[in-house]
Amino acid sequence: MNGSLNRVDGGIGLTLKQPNFTLEVLDRESLIHRGVGKFAWELLPEKQIVLETDLGQVVFSIECSDCPNPDELLDTVSDITEKFIHQLTDKFSLAKSDKFPLKFTIWDFLFSHMGLGSKTQMALAIASSIIKILGLDVHIDVETLTQMVGRGGTSGIGFRSFENGGFILDCGHRFGKNLEKESFLPSSASHAKPARTILRYDFPEEWYVLVVILNVPAGASNMEEINIFQNHCPIPIEEVQQVTHHILMQLLPGIIEKDLVNFGEAVNSIRKIGFKKIEIDLQHDHIKELIKFLEQKSSKCVGMSSFGPTVFSIFESKPLALEMLDHIKKKFSSVGFTSYITTANNTGADIEVTPQ
């Protein structure tokens, strides 16, 4: 986040098994096989949206009863789909397809604006499904797909997580006049190509990740996120150097050697400098209180994902994670929260094709 050496951005990220979502897609043949007529979705529950696209009709419905903002989720997925299909028809000169209509059903969900990469994962899931149904998946790689759905303009973590899972380090973007980026912008406002992956490692699956999402306002997005980038960048070069030092000499060796103490010290140090410090400083007081509480309880690794408010801590066993969760329940019961105890996902998105 400095621009020195003609580069900006750069990120580290871990892919988790939970929280996650399941997206079911039925094409025209599948709908007919199941006895679903052309206008059958008119009888479906209210949590649905019907979209007319250049390739044909697309219907989205939500089947998770606890989705907090179904209308927002439907608006997001329909906007993603409409823009992607428009680009797809232009790129391959496509007309109406006999594979349509398509029926998308969202089972479970990912909280949006919580630092969980929900929009990138949902966008890639939708786009991957469409090109697979159209038989175009052999012509479009995941990086191209990511750019087509308007993601990856800052971070290269999301698309590589979708493809391969694991722990990922990306090298950001070339920075300067007529290069990939000329100013400091988040992915939502950037048209740069997805940041390239420097390395990707399997993350120790014997480590357990406690994920806690307190009931506080969502993390920054849209204009608020843009303003944060514009107001706080460039980060002082000394802090950029400290972050990269911790990554190279502590964090990566910690993964390779399965040394949680070393890995955790790196995460704890990175949390207190550079752009991550700014992200945490902008959080609700309860988030800062939770981070401090985990530190006081001697957690080896405490961090916050992206713009928050999701906080995580990593443990060497599930009982240790459960013990910490009990402490959090007692301390933050009045605030309320959602939690997960999970492990690394080292494979990426799971795509299944069901025969008729």
Q: What is the CATH number of domain 4-15+163-342?
A: 3.30.70.890
Give alpha helix (H) positions in 140-197. 142-148, 157-164
Report the C-alpha gap between 158 and 151 in whole angstroms. 8
Q: How far apart are the C-alpha atoms of 203 and 334, rounded to whole Å?
A: 34
Q: pLDDT at position 43, please?
A: 54
Phi, psi of 39, rounded to the nearest 5 degrees: -110, 20
| Burial grade of 173 (CB within 10 A; 0-12, 13-18, 19 or more) | buried
For every residue of 223-290, DSSP letters joined together read HHHHHHHHHH-SPPHHHHHHHHHHIIIIIHHHHHTT-HHHHHHHHHHHTTSHHHHHHHHTS-HHHHHH
CA 239, CA 2: separation in Å to the nearest integer? 9
Give me the pLDDT at residue 294, please.
97
Helices (H), 28-100: 28-33, 70-92
Give residue 302's pLDDT: 98
**Which pLDDT value is given to residue 32?**
85
Q: Give the span between the Cα atoms of 324 and 300, in whole angstroms.
A: 12
Closest C-alpha to 151, from 170, 124, 174, 115: 124
Residue 41: what pLDDT?
A: 58
Q: Over the Cα atoms of the chain, what is R_g?
A: 21
Quote the CA–CA distance of 70 and 250 in Å, as a whole number: 42
Distance, in Å, from the CA atom of 23 to the CA atom of 136, rounded to the nearest integer, reads: 19
Domain ranges for the chain: 4-15+163-342
The alpha carbon of residue 126 and the mean position of all alpha carbons in its chain are separated, in whole angstroms, by: 14
| Tens digit of each residue's pLDDT, the chain (356 residues) | 788 889 999 999 999 999 999 999 999 999 888 877 665 655 555 678 889 999 999 999 988 877 778 888 899 999 999 999 999 999 999 999 999 999 999 988 778 888 898 999 999 999 999 999 999 999 999 999 999 998 888 889 999 999 999 999 999 999 998 888 888 876 666 778 899 999 999 999 999 999 999 999 876 666 777 788 888 888 999 999 999 999 999 999 999 999 999 999 999 999 999 999 999 999 999 999 999 999 999 999 999 999 899 999 999 999 999 999 999 999 999 999 999 999 999 999 999 988 76
- Residue 307 has a pLDDT of 87
**What SS3 state is found at 325?**
helix
